């Protein structure tokens, strides 16, 4: 009893409100319809329980349902894991979240829906009404695997039920197709006849099962693709944009993703473990040789003043004409200040200006665009750019 009470805490009960959302309502509705109809069709009209095969089939249907719901609720209620409120590590490279009043850990992002910084955020999923991230990535992916498998089994039951019940009762003419919905011709006869309502419901469940198999199956392959590369959906987007930018502007850089362990099996084990607990603590991550925890953020020192003008004439004609076409602000720079840059163009960079003298304790920052020629990379960051193969990293 004590163990049960320790699990059912007030905080966990508060999480039940996640069920009151259109996503979980639809998802659980589809699971309930497909699993219930598969069991009913199987027992009443296709594969009765008094046969060995029918018993095994029924147990498998129950097994699919239990495993799907277990991983679904795990993904929903365990959650992705959030960066602790007020978290202030001993580092100068991280961005500061004003909402959470804490620094953003590597690979974390702030979710506007959850209103928290999510560890290793992949995306916010409306179907579980929660984010997919560090702690629940494995459960979410297993749900994406089991749901199509269970739906394939259910779809087989639906098809065979309609086939066996309508066989010998289909008469094909030149202009008409007649379907006799009389009692099923089975020995012994089923307790409940397979009538029009049963046929319509089974056909509807078949459509749900096939649609779920296709849609969720595609999501599973997408998730496995990024897991085997030890990335998230957000990081895949960042990498794609970085490579497009390098190619478009013909920069002399090579993007090296720091968290790819170099082996699909090692990347796989970063998410899936025998204990069910993912590797690491969600705040620090193993990186490939030649990289460090903050390879996606670079610290620059300001070497030229900048007024914050949208199109500065005194920074060169190329800087003037390549000003970013965005509503994001520009930030004023003064010589000697430091910037944490997270992305950029050929002649412009985007990042946070640290206003306080201390990088570690100072949390007051201004974010925006500034000319690349106004800053230079700090020596400590330049040293980390020497990869074993001599590659330069674009953060």
Rounded alpha-carbon distances, angstroms, from residue 367 to 119, 152, 178, 328, 331:
22, 50, 71, 9, 7
Q: DSSP label at 315?
A: G
Q: Is 125 a catalytic residue?
A: yes
Residue with tokens 């700090």: 378
Which neighbouring-strand residues pair with 369?
330, 350
Cβ partners under 8 Å of residue 305, min gap 6: 333, 334, 335, 374
Torsion, CA 358, CA 372, CA 302, CA 369, rounded to 10: -50
Helix (H, G, I), strand (E, B) or coil at 251: coil
Q: 269: burial class by Cβ within 10 Å (0-12, 13-18, 19+)?
A: middle
Which neighbouring-strand residues pair with 298?
341
Cβ partners under 8 Å of residue 367, min gap 6: 329, 331, 350, 351, 352, 353
Which residue among 34, 97, 117, 125 is the active-site one?
125
**Would you please indicate which residues are annotated as catalytic (active-site) residues?**
125
């Amino acid at each position: 009893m004590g163990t049960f009470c320790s699990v059912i805490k007030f905080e966990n009960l508060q999480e039940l409100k996640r069920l009151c959302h259109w996503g979980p309502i639809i998802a659980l509705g589809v699971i309930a319809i497909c699993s219930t109809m598969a069991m009913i069709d199987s027992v009443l009209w296709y594969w009765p329980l008094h046969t060995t095969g029918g018993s095994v089939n029924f147990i498998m249907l129950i097994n699919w349902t239990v495993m799907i719901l277990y991983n679904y609720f795990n993904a929903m209620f365990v959650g992705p894991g959030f960066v602790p409120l007020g978290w202030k590590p001993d580092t100068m490279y991280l961005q500061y979240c004003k909402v959470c009043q804490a620094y953003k850990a590597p690979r974390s992002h702030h979710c506007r829906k959850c209103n928290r910084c999510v560890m290793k955020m992949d995306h916010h999923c409306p179907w579980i009404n929660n984010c997919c991230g560090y702690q629940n990535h494995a459960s979410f992916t297993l749900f994406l695997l089991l749901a199509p498998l269970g739906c394939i089994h259910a779809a087989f039951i639906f098809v065979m039920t309609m086939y066996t019940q309508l066989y010998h009762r289909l008469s094909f003419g030149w202009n008409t197709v007649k379907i006799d919905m009389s009692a099923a011709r089975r020995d012994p006869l089923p307790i409940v006849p397979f009538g029009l309502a049963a046929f319509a419901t089974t056909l509807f469940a078949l459509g749900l099962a096939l649609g779920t198999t296709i849609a969720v199956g595609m999501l599973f392959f997408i998730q496995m693709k990024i897991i085997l590369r030890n990335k998230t959906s957000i990081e895949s987007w960042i990498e794609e944009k970085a490579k497009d930018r390098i190619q478009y502007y013909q920069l002399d850089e090579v993007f090296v993703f720091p968290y790819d362990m170099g082996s699909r099996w090692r990347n796989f084990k970063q998410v899936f473990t025998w204990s069910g607990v993912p590797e690491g603590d969600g705040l620090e991550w193993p990186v490939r040789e030649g990289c460090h925890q903050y390879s996606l953020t670079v610290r620059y020192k300001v070497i030229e003043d900048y007024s914050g003008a949208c199109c500065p004439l005194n920074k060169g004609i190329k800087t003037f004409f390549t000003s970013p076409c965005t509503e994001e602000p520009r930030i004023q720079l003064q010589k000697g200040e430091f910037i944490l840059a997270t992305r950029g163009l050929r002649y412009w960079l985007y990042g946070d200006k640290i206003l306080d003298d201390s990088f570690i304790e100072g949390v007051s920052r201004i974010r925006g665009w500034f000319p690349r020629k106004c800053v230079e990379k700090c020596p400590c960051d330049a040293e980390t750019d020497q990869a074993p193969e001599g590659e330069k990293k674009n953060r």
